Chains A and B, each alone.
Chain A
């Protein structure tokens, strides 16, 4: 475990030294944010088995709440972050209020609808969100104005979240969530309050996505609703599935691969987004456990 943390710290520390140009450092920051988002969704889909297609909504809430508090109301960024996380978490609980009554496909569409409603509110509530015009001139968090510092900040947070979530899923709480995933009725018959724990997973997942959202606007500099189109929920899910859902390292691998692969294929032009479709389809068809399956298969083989 300690070795793994050391490796992770080393990778985070060295990555910006290998990728020196501003362009690639930007990609690194995006990658760290994607890792956070994939981790947040994995808790809900991978560990609790709840098909949530609305994760982009919580990312959006985090981004908008933190930006509006700092830009319109002049709050300190670090004060706005906990509020943004709480706002996303509360909305996660609101979705959970529906989710606990629904299963599988109904939940998928309800959460998708939730993301659409959030997106529409961002577009239509112009007095607060500036609608499709967007909010401009957003600065990165104070003290992290240059790309290198921002990357270390977001990647550091992602590492902390990874460790906390890792402990969570190994704890009795994690076992409870997995029991609900495997068979909700059996879990309930063992005295597990499935509704409460599903709400817990939704709330924590949403809060982490909200946390990731706090860093997005400062990095891009502008904030428009289009960034939180429902397609974003699909790309997050692609990361979780391609990497390997229900494992801790899987979504991290998925996020890294699906952030860098399209960039490496940028020379192919418009075709780069095909990567998501191809990767998702091929992995589901031939590697149902995701990329982590390769590692597991290698380990099983005698040397």
Chain B
């Protein structure tokens, strides 16, 4: 293999790994948007809570209290983070999002998510302090080498978890009755209600699923991020960009855009330096909004007057 080909392949793999991390964060955002037509700014903090939950399980509870091997401990922590995210989502929905939704205003629920976000960030700041935690995944120690291309076991774990999550989400949406009901609610909430579907229950379910995904994303991102109470905020803006580039509420578009942004980022680091990543991603976002505001995978939507 020539040097350049090896380099390109290496960066493509790095990009895929990064892209899968972004997809994990963005999936929940796009899911909530698709069903509720709402942006959730607190999503970032569900990711952070998931990361902290995973951190304490992986480094303290599973390995020290239960005496598991550190690799098993990390895998367990991913599952725990999924559960913690789900519980947090259910709580926040019951306390804030559900009561607001009944009033049928568009702006205030969005602002409430900002309020919840600031609350969660500073709550965690009070609990965990501002000093970053060192969250090492045992899988980052092992490097796999194929020819001249290197990647860590961690990236294999991330890509696998992301692939399984996406497959499970699709299977749920396409094959189960609940999934079908969910899609019905996302298409037309009122009509779905008339068909005997309980929209508020399914909206709650959507929020729970997407926060569970966010929690799991936190467990995967934890070893990459500087783990502070504001860790999630550092990726969320990029996740928003991905969701828009892909087309709001569109799962295929989000997955495609997530991997695309990951790959672009990997090559940006290679050729332009890591300082300009956000710049490149957001210029891409604005260009996208200017030439194709419906996103990569467009969804037809007519507007009611």
Which residues from chain A sit less than 8 Å from chain B, CB to CB? 51, 98, 101-102, 104-106, 108-110, 112-114, 116-117, 120-121, 123-124, 185, 230-231, 234, 237-238, 241, 270-271, 273-274, 276-282, 284-285, 288
Contact = CB atoms under 8 A, between A and B. Distances in A.
Contacts of A112: 237, 240
Interface stretch (B15-23, B112-120, B146-154, B183-191): B112-120
B171 interface: no
Given A273-B125, A288-B103, A108 B293 contact: no
Given A113-B240, A285-B99, 18 more contacts: A98-B289, A101-B293, A105-B37, A105-B110, A108-B110, A120-B276, A185-B303, A238-B114, A270-B122, A270-B130, A273-B118, A274-B123, A274-B126, A276-B115, A277-B115, A277-B117, A278-B115, A284-B112
Given A121-B279, A124-B275, A270-B125, A113 B116 contact: no
Interface in B124-154: 125-126, 130
Contacts, number: 126
Given A102-B289, A120-B276, A273 B122 contact: yes
Contacts of B111: 237, 241, 280, 284
B286 A285 contact: no
B8 interface: no
A51 to B, nearest CB: 7
A117 B283 contact: yes
The interface size bin for chain B is: 35 or more
Contacts of B65: none
Contacts of B130: 270
B278 interface: yes
Interface of A is mostly: helix
A117 B289 contact: no
B62 interface: no
B285 interface: yes
Contacts of A270: 122, 125-126, 130
A215 B198 CA distance: 54
B61 interface: no
A230 B244 CA distance: 18
Contacts of A105: 33, 37-39, 110, 248
B114 A124 contact: no
Contact of A284 (B108, B118, B237, B276): B108
B175 interface: no
B39 A234 contact: no
24 contacts: A98-B286, A101-B290, A105-B33, A105-B39, A106-B293, A110-B286, A113-B282, A113-B285, A117-B279, A117-B283, A121-B279, A124-B275, A238-B118, A241-B111, A273-B125, A276-B118, A277-B120, A277-B122, A280-B114, A280-B118, A284-B100, A285-B100, A285-B112, A288-B105
Nearest to A286: B99
B242 to A, nearest CB: 10
A161 B99 CA distance: 37
A123 B279 CA distance: 10
B237 A108 contact: no
B99 to A, nearest CB: 6
A281 B96 CA distance: 8
Nearest to B118: A277
A104 B301 CA distance: 15
A273 B120 CA distance: 11
B248 to A, nearest CB: 7
A109 B241 contact: yes
Contacts of B119: 274, 277-278, 281
Contact of A281 (B105, B116, B283): B116
Nearest to A121: B279
B106 interface: yes
A271 B114 contact: no
Contacts of B303: 185
A128 to B, nearest CB: 15
Nearest to A241: B111
B286 A113 contact: yes
B183 to A, nearest CB: 20
A120 B248 contact: no
